[in-house]
C-alpha cells in the first residue's frame, strides 16, 4: 500500500506549472542563438514556441509541464514567432525533451543515481527525519545530481523502501531470537503494579524526574538501576539486531505517548522490538538526566559555598577593619611616644635608650597580640575549603549513588579521574591511600592539611572534578546521547574514507576538496582587505575612523529616517479586534499549515483542525491545554490531550512555521522589505524567560542577573529582514548561544540566509570558520571589537613596512589548518548529513582542551575569516548600520513574543526541552501568522490604491515602520471553535488577476 507524503494541496503545488515574474521569464525563456538557429533548421517555426516553453520550465525545475497558453503568447511575442499549433505529436514532444536534456547536459536516471537517492533516503529515515522533509531533500538532491526530476510516485517509492527497510531488517533478525530467555526480562514491564491494579509497571518509567532534591535523585537512581540491569542482560541482543540510539528513541516514544495496555494488543515480535527500544533509550536518557542534575547540583554547591565565604567575609569586615585600625593606632602611638621621649630634654641619652627599650618591649607584646588576632582572622576568611567542605554531606547524599552507577568510557577519559572514581566506588571508607593525582597542588594541601586527611573535603572535590571533567570532555560516558567521546558523533572514519568524494559532491562542497585551491582566493581577499581598509584610513576616506595611541575610535552614525514618516498602524483595523482563532483559520486557508500536524506514525490520519488550533493557542499563548479546554467552546479535554500526545511535536510545529514563512515569498512586498532585493540579511538573539517555581527542569538554569534567585531559559530566535521568524530553540540560560547559530541557519526549511548577524554571545572564531565553510557570511556585532586581534598570512613586520595603520597581531599558523583539513571536512559533512546537530558537535568539541587538533584548526581558520570581516566592518559604515538595524529587529520582535506568550506571567510551565520547544514554536507560529496576515492586508491595500501616489505612500509607511504591530489582535477572552467568519478572510483576499502585488513603480 502506497504511503501518503504530501497533502493534496502540496501535491497539486508540486505538479503545478510554477508562476514566474517578468525577470524570471526573461532569464528562463532565454534561448541562445546557436540553439535557436538549430531549431529553425530542423523544426516548424510555429512549434519552436512550445520548445521554448518546455525549455524554460525545465531549466527552472528539471521537470516538464503541460502547456500554459498565456506563457506561449509571451514567448511568441518575445521571439516574434508565428501562431502556435494547437496540436503537436507525442513523437515531436519526446524529441524536444531529449534535445533540451542533451543541451542542458542532464544526466540519465541510472541505477547508480537511483542508489544515491535511496542511500540518502535511508540515511534520513534512520535519523527519523519527517517523510515530507525526506521528500523535499530528495527533490533538491535530484537537482544537484543534474537529473530530470523523478515523479512523485518514484520518490514516494524510494521513501517507502527506506522506511520499510529501516524496521523490517531489525524485525527479521529479532524473529530468530524470539525464544531467547533473556527477552523474558521485558515481561516485567507488562505486569500490573500491586499498589495500583490498573497501572502497568512500564508506566513508572515514562517520565523523567527533574528535581535535584535528594528523594527525587534517589528515585531516579532506583529507576536507572532497574533499567541498567535489564540493559546489561539485553545489550547483546540489541547490538545483534541493530537497534541504534535514533531507532530506539523513535520507537520508545510510542511507549511514552501511548497507553500501556496497547503493548499487549500488538504481536509478540513488535512488542519485544518496542520494549527493547524503550530499554535502550531509557538507559541513554536516564544517564544523561542524572548527569545533568549531577552537574547542576555541583554548580549550585559551588555557588553556595562561594556566597557563604563572601557573606562571612562581609560579616567580618567591621572586625577586620577594627583589627587593622588597632594595628595602625598601635604603630602610630608607639612612634609618637618614642618621639616624645627623644625630645624630652630632662632625660639623658642613656635614660632615653632605657625608656625606649622598655616602651618597645611593652608595645611589641601589644602588637603581637593584635597580629595574632589578625592572623586568626585572615585564616578564617581566606580558607575557602572550609566552606566547600560544609557541602559534603548534602552532596554525598545526592551524588554518591550516581557516581557509582554511571558507566564511563575509560578508553577516552582522563586516567587520573577514572582512578579516583574507581577507588570511590570500591571503598566504603576513604583513606589517605585514595588517588590524589586529579587534585591540584592547592587542593592537595587543603585535603592533607596539618597531617590530617579531610575525607569530606576529598569527596566534595572529587564531585567537583567529575562535573568539570564531564563538561570539558575529559570524562566521557559509555552510554549517553550528550556526553560521549567527541569522535563518536562524527561520521565513521572508514565510511568517510570510502565515500568522501561522493559526500562532498552531494552536498555541493567540491570546492573544499583541495585545500590549496580553496585557500588561495581567501588569502588574496584578506590581503586586499588589509590594503583597502588601510588606504582609506590613510587617505582620510574613512571619516568615522580616528586613530588613538595603541587604539582607535570608530563611530557609526544612526540611519536617517524619513521626516515625513507615516505610521503603518493607521492602515490596519482600528475600530474592531480580530480574533486570533479566526486569523489562524484564514492563514491556514492560504498556506495549509495545519496539514503539517501529522500523527506520530506519519501515516494518513485526519483530525479535527479545531483541536490543533486549540493546542497551538494553548501552547503559544502559554495558557496550558487544560485551561484551554475549559475556556473554549467546542473543545474536549480528552481529545485535546490526545492531540498533545500524538500530533504536537517539535518537527510538526517547525514545519507549520516553514509553510507560513515560505508562503510569504510569494508576496513581492516581502522581498521589497530587504535592503538589497537578492540578499537576505538575517539575525538571531536570545530572549530570557522565567521557569515557573512549581516546575523543575534540567533545561533551566540560574542567572542572578536575569532571574534573581529563580531559574530560567533562553528562547534563541532567528529573524530575517522581512521580520519572518524562521527558527527558534529553547536553551539553558547558562549555555553559550554561538553553538546554536549553525543549527538555525541549516535546519530551517524556509529561509536561506546570505549574511547573518548576532551579538557578542553568538560569536566565536570557530563559528566564523564554520559559517564560511558552510556557505554563509557571518557579520556579528562584537562588543569592544577594537580589542579583537587581527591576523595575517604574513608577519606583522611585513604589514608595518607597508605603512599600514591596522596590522595583524601575529601570522596565521596555516600548517594547523592544512594538517587537519581532512578532519575539518569530516566535521562539516557530519553536520550536513544530520548524523548529529552542529550544536551537539560544538558542545563536545569546544568543551575539550584547547589543544584538541580539530578545535585549534577550526579556530585558526576562523581567525582568517574574522579578520577579513573586522577590516570590512571598520571600512564600511553601511555594513555597520545594516548589522545594527537587523539586530534591532530581533530585539523588537521580543516585545511581540511577550504579547503573544502572555499566560502565566510569561513563565514557562513545562519541564522537558521538547515541550518547551513545542510551546516556543507555537508562539512563533502565531507571530508568523499575524505577520503574514498583515503583509496580505497591506498588499490588498496596495492593489486597491487609486493611484501611484497613494500606493507609494502606503509602501513608504511600511518601509519606515514595522510590520510587527498587533494592537488590533484579540488574544484574550473566550475561544469559540464552533463558528467561523469569512469577514476576516475578505480583508486580505487578493485579486489574483493583479498578481500578488503590482510593484512596478515601487523602488527599493
pLDDT in tens, 689-708: 999 999 999 999 988 888 98
Question: Is there a contact between 512 and 818 (Cβ–Cβ < 8 Å)?
Answer: no
Residue 523 has pLDDT above 70, yes or no: yes
- Other Cβ atoms within 10 Å of 967 Cβ, number: 10
Q: Which grid cell sits at 340?
A: 616624645
Give the confidence band of 306 by pLDDT, cuts at 50, 70, 90.
confident
- Other Cβ atoms within 10 Å of 212 Cβ, number: 20
Q: Across residues 923-944, what is the average pLDDT?
A: 94
Q: What is the pLDDT of residue 968?
A: 84
- 445-467 exposure pattern, b = at least 16 Cβ within 10 A, e = fewer: ebbbeeeeebbbbbbbbbbbbbb
Q: Distance between CA 711 and CA 700 in Å, rounded?
A: 6
Q: What is the pLDDT of residue 71?
A: 85
Q: Which grid cell sits at 1002?
A: 515601487
Residue that has been written with the C-alpha cell 553553538 in this structure: 739
Residue 196 has pLDDT above 80, yes or no: no
Lowest-pLDDT range, 360-374, 529-543, 700-714? 360-374
Half-sphere exposure in the Cβ direction for 108 (13 Å, CA): 4
Residue 178 has pLDDT above 60, yes or no: yes
Q: Distance between CA 186 and CA 673 in Å, rounded?
A: 59
The number of angstroms, rounded, from the C-alpha of 255 to the middle of its chain's C-alpha atoms is 27
Residue 388: CB partners within 8 Å, gap ≥ 6?
Answer: 301, 305, 457, 460, 461, 464
Residue 562 has pLDDT above 50, yes or no: no
Residue 86 has pLDDT above 70, yes or no: no
The one-character DSSP state at 107 is: B
Q: Across residues 304-331, what is the average pLDDT?
A: 71
Best-predicted range by mean pLDDT (25-39, 181-195, 334-348, 860-874)? 860-874
Q: What is the pLDDT of residue 992?
A: 67
pTM: 0.85
Q: What count of residues does the chain have?
A: 1004
The number of angstroms, rounded, from the C-alpha of 250 to the middle of its chain's C-alpha atoms is 21
Q: Across residues 985-993, what is the average pLDDT?
A: 77
Residue 382 has pLDDT above 70, yes or no: no
Q: Which grid cell sits at 26?
A: 526573461
Question: Is there a contact between 656 and 662 (Cβ–Cβ < 8 Å)?
Answer: no
Question: 168 or 321: whose pLDDT is higher?
Answer: 168
Q: Report the alpha-carbon angle 529-532-536, nearest 5.
A: 140
Closest CA to 623 of 900, 898, 904: 904
Q: What is the pLDDT of residue 997?
A: 47
690 - beta bridge partners? 712
Question: Is there a contact between 780 and 759 (Cβ–Cβ < 8 Å)?
Answer: yes
Q: What is the pLDDT of residue 83?
A: 62
**Rounded mean pLDDT of the chain?**
89
Q: What is the DSSP string of 690-719?
A: EBPTT---TT-EE-HHHHTTSEEEEEEEEE
Residue pLDDT, tens place only, 409-451? 999 999 999 999 999 999 999 999 999 999 999 999 999 876 7
Residue 1001 has pLDDT above 80, yes or no: no
Residue pLDDT, tens place only, 271-301? 999 999 999 999 999 999 999 999 999 999 9
**Percentage with pLDDT > 90 across the chain:** 58
Give the confidence band of 884 by pLDDT, cuts at 50, 70, 90.
very high
Residue pLDDT, tens place only, 227-267? 999 999 999 999 999 999 999 999 999 898 888 888 888 89
- Other Cβ atoms within 10 Å of 853 Cβ, number: 12
Q: Across residues 863-869, what is the average pLDDT?
A: 97
Give the confidence band of 603 by pLDDT, cuts at 50, 70, 90.
low
Residue pLDDT, tens place only, 744-797? 999 887 899 999 999 988 789 999 999 999 999 999 998 888 889 999 999 999
- 780-817 exposure pattern, b = at least 16 Cβ within 10 A, e = fewer: bbbeebeebebbbbbebeebeeeebebbbeeebeeeeb
Residue pLDDT, tens place only, 667-694? 888 988 888 888 999 999 999 999 999 9
Question: 604 or 961: whose pLDDT is higher?
Answer: 961
Q: What is the pLDDT of residue 1003?
A: 46
Give the confidence band of 197 by pLDDT, cuts at 50, 70, 90.
low
Q: Distance between CA 177 and CA 613 in Å, rounded?
A: 45
Q: Report the alpha-carbon angle 57-63-69, nearest 5.
A: 45
**Percentage with pLDDT > 70 across the chain:** 94
Residue pLDDT, tens place only, 27-38? 999 988 888 888
Residue 563 has pLDDT above 50, yes or no: no
773, 778, 784, 789: CA torsion to nearest 10: 30
Residue 76 has pLDDT above 90, yes or no: no
Q: Across residues 50-73, what is the average pLDDT?
A: 88
Amino acid at each position: 500500500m502506497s504511503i501518503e507524503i504530501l497533502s493534496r494541496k502540496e501535491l497539486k503545488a508540486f505538479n503545478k506549472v510554477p508562476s514566474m515574474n517578468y525577470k524570471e521569464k526573461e532569464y528562463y525563456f532565454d534561448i541562445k542563438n546557436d540553439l535557436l538557429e538549430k531549431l529553425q533548421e530542423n523544426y516548424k517555426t510555429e512549434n519552436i514556441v512550445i520548445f521554448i516553453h518546455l525549455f524554460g520550465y525545465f531549466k527552472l525545475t528539471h521537470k516538464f509541464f503541460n502547456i500554459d497558453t498565456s506563457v506561449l503568447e509571451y514567448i511568441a511575442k518575445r521571439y516574434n514567432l508565428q501562431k502556435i499549433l494547437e496540436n503537436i505529436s507525442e513523437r515531436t514532444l519526446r524529441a524536444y525533451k531529449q534535445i533540451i536534456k542533451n543541451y542542458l547536459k542532464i544526466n540519465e536516471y541510472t541505477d547508480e543515481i537511483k542508489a544515491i537517492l535511496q542511500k540518502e533516503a535511508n540515511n534520513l529515515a534512520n535519523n527519523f527525519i519527517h517523510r515530507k522533509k525526506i521528500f523535499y531533500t530528495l527533490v533538491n538532491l535530484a537537482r544537484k545530481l543534474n537529473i530530470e526530476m523523478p515523479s512523485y510516485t518514484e520518490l514516494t517509492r524510494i521513501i517507502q523502501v527506506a522506511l520499510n527497510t529501516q524496521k523490517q531488517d531489525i524485525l527479521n533478525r529479532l524473529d530468530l531470537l524470539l525464544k531467547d530467555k533473556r527477552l523474558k526480562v521485558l515481561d516485567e514491564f507488562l505486569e500490573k503494579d500491586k499498589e495500583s491494579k490498573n497501572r502497568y509497571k512500564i508506566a513508572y518509567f515514562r517520565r523523567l524526574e527533574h528535581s535535584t532534591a535528594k528523594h527525587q535523585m534517589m528515585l531516579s537512581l532506583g529507576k536507572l538501576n532497574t533499567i541498567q540491569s535489564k540493559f546489561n542482560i539485553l545489550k547483546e541482543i540489541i547490538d545483534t539486531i541493530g537497534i541504534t540510539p535514533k531507532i530506539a528513541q523513535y520507537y520508545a516514544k510510542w511507549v511514552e505517548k501511548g497507553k500501556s495496555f496497547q503493548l499487549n494488543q500488538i504481536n509478540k515480535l513488535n512488542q519485544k522490538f518496542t520494549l527493547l527500544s524503550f530499554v535502550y533509550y531509557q538507559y541513554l536518557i536516564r544517564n544523561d538526566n542524572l548527569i545533568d542534575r549531577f552537574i547542576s547540583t555541583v554548580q549550585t554547591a559551588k555557588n553556595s559555598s562561594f556566597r557563604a565565604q563572601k557573606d562571612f567575609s562581609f560579616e567580618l569586615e567591621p572586625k577586620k577593619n577594627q583589627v587593622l585600625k588597632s594595628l595602625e593606632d598601635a604603630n602610630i602611638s608607639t612612634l609618637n611616644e618614642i618621639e616624645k621621649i627623644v625630645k624630652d630634654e630632662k632625660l639623658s641619652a642613656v635614660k632615653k635608650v632605657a625608656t625606649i627599650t622598655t616602651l618597645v618591649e611593652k608595645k611589641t607584646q601589644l602588637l603581637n597580640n593584635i597580629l595574632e588576632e589578625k592572623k586568626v582572622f585572615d585564616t578564617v576568611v581566606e580558607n575557602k575549603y572550609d566552606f566547600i567542605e560544609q557541602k559534603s554531606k548534602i552532596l554525598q547524599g545526592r551524588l554518591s549513588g550516581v557516581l557509582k552507577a554511571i558507566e564511563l568510557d575509560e578508553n577516552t577519559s582522563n586516567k587520573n579521574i577514572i582512578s579516583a572514581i574507581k577507588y570511590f566506588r570500591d571503598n566504603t571508607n576513604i583513606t589517605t591511600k585514595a588517588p590524589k593525582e586529579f587534585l591540584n597542588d592547592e587542593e592537595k594541601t587543603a585535603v592533607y592539611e596539618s597531617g590530617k586527611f579531610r575525607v569530606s573535603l576529598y569527596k566534595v572535590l572529587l564531585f567537583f572534578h567529575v562535573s568539570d571533567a564531564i563538561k570539558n570532555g575529559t570524562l566521557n560516558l559509555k552510554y549517553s546521547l550528550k556526553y560521549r567521546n567527541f569522535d563518536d558523533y562524527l561520521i565513521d572514519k572508514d565510511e568517510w574514507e570510502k565515500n568522501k568524494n561522493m559526500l562532498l559532491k552531494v552536498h555541493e562542497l567540491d570546492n573544499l576538496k583541495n585545500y590549496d585551491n580553496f585557500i588561495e582566493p581567501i588569502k588574496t581577499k584578506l590581503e586586499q582587505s588589509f590594503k583597502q581598509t588601510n588606504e582609506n584610513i590613510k587617505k582620510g576616506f574613512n571619516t568615522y575612523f580616528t586613530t588613538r595611541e595603541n587604539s582607535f575610535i570608530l563611530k557609526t552614525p544612526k540611519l536617517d529616517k524619513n521626516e515625513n514618516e507615516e505610521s503603518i498602524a493607521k492602515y490596519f483595523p482600528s475600530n474592531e479586534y480580530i480574533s486570533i482563532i479566526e486569523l489562524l483559520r484564514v492563514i491556514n486557508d492560504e498556506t495549509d499549515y495545519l496539514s503539517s500536524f501529522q500523527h506520530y506514525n506519519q501515516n494518513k490520519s485526519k483530525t479535527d483542525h479545531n483541536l490543533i488550533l486549540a493546542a497551538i493557542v494553548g501552547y503559544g499563548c502559554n495558557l496550558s491545554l487544560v485551561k484551554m479546554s475549559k475556556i473554549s467552546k467546542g473543545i474536549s479535554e480528552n481529545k485535546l490531550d490526545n492531540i498533545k500526545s500524538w500530533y504536537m511535536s517539535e518537527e510538526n510545529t517547525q514545519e507549520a512555521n516553514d509553510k507560513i514563512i515560505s508562503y510569504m515569498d510569494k508576496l513581492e512586498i516581502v522581498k521589497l522589505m530587504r535592503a538589497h532585493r537578492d540578499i537576505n540579511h538575517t539575525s538571531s538573539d536570545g530572549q530570557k524567560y522565567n521557569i515557573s517555581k512549581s516546575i523543575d527542569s534540567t533545561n533551566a538554569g540560574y542567572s542572578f542577573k536575569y532571574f534573581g534567585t529563580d531559574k530560567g531559559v533562553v528562547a534563541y530566535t532567528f529573524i530575517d529582514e522581512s521580520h519572518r521568524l524562521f527558527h527558534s530553540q529553547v536553551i539553558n540560560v547558562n549555555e553559550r548561544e554561538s553553538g546554536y547559530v549553525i543549527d538555525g541557519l541549516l535546519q530551517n526549511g524556509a529561509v536561506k540566509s546570505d549574511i547573518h548577524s548576532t551579538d557578542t554571545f553568538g560569536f566565536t572564531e570557530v563559528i566564523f570558520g564554520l559559517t564560511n565553510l558552510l556557505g554563509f557570511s557571518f557579520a556579528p556585532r562584537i562588543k569592544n571589537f577594537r580589542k579583537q586581534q587581527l591576523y595575517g598570512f604574513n608577519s606583522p613586520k611585513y604589514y608595518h613596512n607597508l605603512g599600514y595603520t591596522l596590522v595583524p597581531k601575529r601570522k596565521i599558523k596555516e600548517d594547523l589548518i592544512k594538517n587537519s583539513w581532512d578532519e575539518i571536512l569530516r566535521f562539516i559533512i557530519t553536520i550536513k548529513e544530520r548524523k548529529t546537530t552542529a550544536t551537539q558537535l560544538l558542545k563536545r568539541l569546544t568543551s575539550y582542551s584547547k589543544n584538541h587538533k580539530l578545535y585549534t584548526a577550526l579556530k585558526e581558520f576562523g581567525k582568517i575569516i574574522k579578520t577579513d570581516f573586522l577590516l570590512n566592518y571598520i571600512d564600511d559604515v553601511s555594513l555597520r548600520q545594516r548589522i545594527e538595524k537587523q539586530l534591532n529587529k530581533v530585539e523588537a520582535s521580543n516585545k511581540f513574543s511577550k504579547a503573544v506568550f502572555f499566560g502565566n506571567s510569561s513563565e514557562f510551565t513545562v519541564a522537558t526541552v521538547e515541550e518547551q520547544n513545542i510551546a516556543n514554536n507555537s508562539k512563533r507560529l502565531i507571530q508568523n501568522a499575524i505577520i503574514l496576515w498583515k503583509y496580505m492586508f497591506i498588499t490588498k491595500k496596495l492593489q486597491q490604491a487609486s493611484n501611484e501616489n497613494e500606493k507609494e505612500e502606503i509602501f513608504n509607511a511600511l518601509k519606515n515602520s514595522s510590520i510587527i504591530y498587533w494592537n488590533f489582535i484579540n488574544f484574550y477572552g473566550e475561544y469559540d471553535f464552533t463558528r467561523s467568519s469569512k469577514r476576516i478572510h475578505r480583508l486580505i483576499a487578493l485579486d489574483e488577476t493583479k498578481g500578488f502585488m503590482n510593484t512596478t513603480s515601487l523602488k527599493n
